[in-house]
Amino acid sequence: MTGMRARRSCLAVPGSNPRMMEKAQGLPADQVFLDLEDAVAPVAKAEARRAVISTLNEAVFRAPLRSVRVNDWTTPWTYTDVIDVVGGAGAQIDTLVLPKVLGPEQVVALDLLLTQVEKSHGLEVGRIGIEAQIENAAGLVNVDAIAAASPRLEALVFGPADFMASLNMRSLVVGEQPEGYDVGDAYHYILMRILMAARANDVLAIDGPYLQIKDLEGLQRSAERSAALGFDGKWVLHPDQIEVVNAVYSPRQADYDHAELILDSYAWHTSPEGGARGAVMVGDHMVDEASRKMALTVAAKGRAAGMSRTQSFHAREA
């Protein structure tokens, strides 16, 4: 994925909690999203919108990406969330997170509304992206169409808590297997389905939150699983979770170095000066065009995460 912006850790911050919004400013997450949805009580929605607007306009976040999660389209709140928050602080917003997406029309509706608000406030049309949360059976069944619904779509995000509720899954512990199911991973199909739709449409795939805040080993296990499949990042709910998640979704230094070495070495050997060969040896591994693509994935994740290589390539030694 070219030009990828890192989204290893996506920090959820309740829009109704000024103290947490203040604290979030200095934290090293790749993305901060201020929440107007499930972390905000219905009676506090209007006040949260005001607090989110003033935070976005006044605060300087260390996180390069700033987002707002609006309420889903089945509530009475979505349109006011968008009109008020984008109208009041649109220049400070990189993406809107749309929860509980049921089908592509809900993404299109948000795209259309965003376009009007951008036009009426003199904002660049189309700059604000959309992230669709897949957190119920309907959303998963329609995930391909959702992923293709708008050029604004940047990411598909798994919402495990709502998803488990939507399926009537017999468990109250997000991130762990439902008791009594001992023949595999109950989330494998869901994660793979989301990943396929994301990759087929060139958008990011983001894993949802791990709710046992104090259990950093459990968080690591849960993150390692989706990272191993190819997911790009994971939501975090607490400052202590950021470091673990950033590390899990960054390539290891040795893998990053090796990926960059493969790219340089392959570029050299396939060039006329290097012999114009299509399959070459890098160390004791055979590298061809398919392995170049695998290396590019690792290198792109490392570059997006700001890593630098610790070895350089010399054509003489290749």
At its nearest, how many Å lie between Mg ion and the CB of residue 123?
A: 28
Distance of alpha carbon 97 from alpha carbon 111, whole angstroms: 12
- The token pair at 63 is 């996180």
Location of structure tokens 């889903």? 72
Q: At 190, is the secondary structure helix, strand, or coil?
A: helix
Instruction: Give the count of beta carbons closer than 10 Å to the beta carbon of residue 43.
Output: 8
Location of structure tokens 């798994």? 158
Q: Which of residues 255-314 bind ligand GLV (CB under 6 A)?
A: none
Q: Which of 162, 232, 257, 264 binds Mg ion (CB under 5 A)?
A: 162
Location of structure tokens 């309420």? 71
- Residue with smaller CB distance to ligand GLV, 139 or 302: 139
- Which run of H or of E encompasses 120? helix 104-120
Assess 208 for contact with ligand GLV (CB under 6 A): yes
Nearest residue to 125 (alpha-carbon basis) of 135, 116, 133:
116
Q: Which of 209, 233, 251, 302 binds ligand GLV (CB under 6 A)?
A: 209
Assess 213 for contact with ligand GLV (CB under 6 A): no
At its nearest, how many Å lie between ligand GLV and the CB of residue 138?
A: 14
Assess 15 for contact with ligand GLV (CB under 6 A): no
Assess 175 for contact with ligand GLV (CB under 6 A): no
Assess 302 for contact with Mg ion (CB under 5 A): no
At its nearest, how many Å lie between Mg ion and the CB of residue 198?
A: 18
- Residue with smaller CB distance to Mg ion, 165 or 267: 165
- Residue with smaller CB distance to ligand GLV, 71 or 133: 133
- Residue with smaller CB distance to ligand GLV, 111 or 135: 135
Assess 131 for contact with ligand GLV (CB under 6 A): no
Contact stretch for ligand GLV (CB under 6 A) within 160-168, 270-278, 280-288, 295-303: 160-168
Per partner kind, with CB cut-offs from 5 to 8 A, the member of Mg ion, ligand GLV, none near residue 208 is: ligand GLV
Q: Which of 30, 111, 135, 257 binds ligand GLV (CB under 6 A)?
A: 135
Per partner kind, with CB cut-offs from 5 to 8 A, the member of Mg ion, ligand GLV, none near residue 150 is: none
Instruction: Give the count of beta carbons closer than 10 Å to the beta carbon of residue 4.
Output: 16
- Residue with smaller CB distance to ligand GLV, 169 or 318: 169
Query: What's the half-sphere exposure (Cβ side, CA atoms, 13 Å) at 243?
Result: 4
- Residue with smaller CB distance to ligand GLV, 185 or 289: 185
At its nearest, how many Å lie between ligand GLV and the CB of residue 218?
A: 15
Q: Which residues of 222-235 are buried (b: 16+ CB within 10 A; e: fewer)?
A: bbebbbeeebbbbb
Kindly give the interhelix angle for 104-120 and 78-89, rounded to the nearest 10 degrees.
Answer: 40
Q: At 140, is the secondary structure helix, strand, or coil?
A: helix
Assess 260 for contact with Mg ion (CB under 5 A): no
Cα dihedral across residues 139, 140, 145, 146: positive or negative? positive
Strands (E), 105-245: 129-134, 153-158, 204-207, 233-236
Taking a C-beta distance cutoff of 8 angstroms, is the pair 309, 260 a contact? yes
Q: How far apart are the first and last CA of the chain?
A: 27
> Per-residue contact track with ligand GLV, 82 to 111, x per CB under 6 A?
-----------------x------------
Assess 162 for contact with ligand GLV (CB under 6 A): yes
Residues that bind ligand GLV (CB under 6 A): 99, 133, 135, 159-162, 208-209
